[in-house]
Structure 1
Amino acid sequence: MTRRNPYLSGALALGLLAAAPAPLLAAQAASPGPSSSVPASALDRNRELQACAAKAEANPDNALADAKRWQQQGGGDSAKLCEALALFHAGDFKAAGAQMEALVPTLGKDDPRAAASLLGRAGWAWLRAGDQGRAERLYSAALDKTPGDVDLLIDRAFARAEGERFWDAVADLDAALTRDPKRADAYLYRASAQKALSNYRQALADIDQALELKPGDPEAILLRGNVKALGGNLGAARDDWSLARRVAPDSEWGRAAAANLARTAEVAGDAGKDKAKEKKVQ
């Protein structure tokens, strides 16, 4: 199951900006013009951080060089955050996670939401680095700051599932869906956890909910086929795999569906050959 994490996109940068500069933007909006009480240097840092965040996604190596120059010029924590973004997009997840964690006491000092934002993103970095335990601890710390946050509950559930703690993942997803029953991704992740627990009926019910909210989702269709196959209904599974391949042939889910179809066809072919050999022997 792939975590469609919003932190991978430009939302990563904008979410992290809430850790410090966003309140400055709010103040600027409340008091626009020359009379604004927001220091010009703070607004400059915010603009530079936004520019760095955009560059980090498109060209992380250049963004990393910019971040280091900015630190040498006195950019402080904003420059360090810029560096963390660049490291993340460059694939150095451990360094990015450690950097974001280190910034929590300063950038998140006076704002629980800011601290939770950084902790959550650090958790995502550590999860990408393969450290599910550390990721879960960071998500839990973030939830202590902002209890009931749906995205953080889903993230922690994903981390728990990656560590094969499926019942705990289901508990988090139950809580997330209680707060926001329109989250198709949460239904899909809960279905994946139920599949791992061999609770196929519950998994199919969750997939139906996900598809009702997001019709034609190839990942959900692929998963439904996989669950049906595990439940012994290979014919229905092949129908779903064929549908997933038609809906999104060039996606990872369409390709996985095509592979499933090929494997089952090969198995069926081998079984047919074995039967033919048995008849000859007889």
Structure 2
Amino acid sequence: MIMIVALALQAAAAAGPVDPATGRFDRCIALARTDPAAARAEATRWTASGGNWLARQCAGLADTAEGKFAAAADDFEAAGRVAQLAHDAHTASYFAQAGNAWLAAGDAAKARTALDTALVQGTLDGLQLGEARLDHARALLALGDNDTARADIDRALQSAGDDPLAWLLSATLARRMGNPARAATDIAEALKRSPDDASVQLEAGNIAALSGDEARAKEAWANAARIAPDTAVGRSATTALAQFATATPAAKPPEGR
């Protein structure tokens, strides 16, 4: 959700309001933050009266604020299609937002399609390009295409290397693909950037366990359980720690990780 909003606001700042005299777009975005339903109604009226891709983008932000990610993805894709017909420079950004929203909605196949459309435009750069590649990798991982996801993550790290999620995904994939050295290096980078992220600590424990470092595994899993005790991540860490009470010969990552 954070990335959806960040990408949307970045595109909005670059594009500017459609009517500088009234700042309708600026007001619609501000309304989406405080009253999403009212913003959605305003975006619908604006679209009906000839509003362009910015009206549809505001609708997407309003849906995002209400957790309606599939609806938001549809709105962002509609913005992308209208922008594409007008040869607007922000077409790729709208499709990238749609891909991110589809991931939040749990539809990896639609996310991949939207992100393919975003990337093929060839206009994304810098952090936006890195985040789009990272989301593309997330979609591919969900669809079981580890090899292509590996290539996407490696490209994403070149321009989104400050994002701890990029390093976390890279480390997790390296572990799953049987590359413990790469996994250890990349999880260290994730820990540097986000030591208080329970998911990062959980994966650090998983990687340590596979390398036989019981003390480090216990420490990382305990951190994950402490940071987010009432979440799925925290519960996975607690389950992993419980194996030490039964005196099993070697620590193992929790199931499904």
Q: Normalization by structure 2: what TM-score? A: 0.78
Structure 2 match to 1:238: 218
Specify the SS of the correspondent of 1:206.
helix
| Partner of residue 165 from structure 2, selected from 185, 194, 211 | 185
Structure 2 residues not aligned, in runs of 5+: 249-257
Structure 2 match to 1:85: 61
Structure 1 match to 2:9: 14
CA drift of 1:71 comes to: 4.1
Contact in 1 for aligned 2:205/2:220 (Cα 8 Å): yes
Structure 2 match to 1:224: 204
Structure 2 match to 1:23: 15
Q: Deviations over 1:232-251 (max 9, x none)?
A: 544432222123334x2557
Structure 2 match to 1:35: none
Q: What is the RMSD of the two structures over their aligned residues, measured on CA atoms?
A: 3.0
Pair 1:87–1:249, CA change in 2 (3 A): closer
Structure 2 match to 1:49: 28
Q: Is 1:195 matched up with 2:175? A: yes
Specify the SS of the correspondent of 1:164.
coil
Structure 2 match to 1:111: 88
| Partner of residue 129 from structure 1, selected from 105, 122, 136 | 105
Pair 1:232–1:85, CA change in 2 (3 A): same
Pair 1:17–1:131, CA change in 2 (3 A): same
Q: Report how many residues are paired.
A: 242
The structure that has the greater radius of gyration is 1
Pair 1:183–1:125, CA change in 2 (3 A): closer
Quote the Cα distance in structure 1 between the aligned partners of 2:214 and 2:156. 32
Specify the SS of the correspondent of 1:224.
helix
Contact in 1 for aligned 2:28/2:39 (Cα 8 Å): no
CA drift of 1:73 comes to: 5.5
Quote the Cα distance in structure 1 between the aligned partners of 2:160 and 2:66. 33
Specify the SS of the correspondent of 1:111.
coil
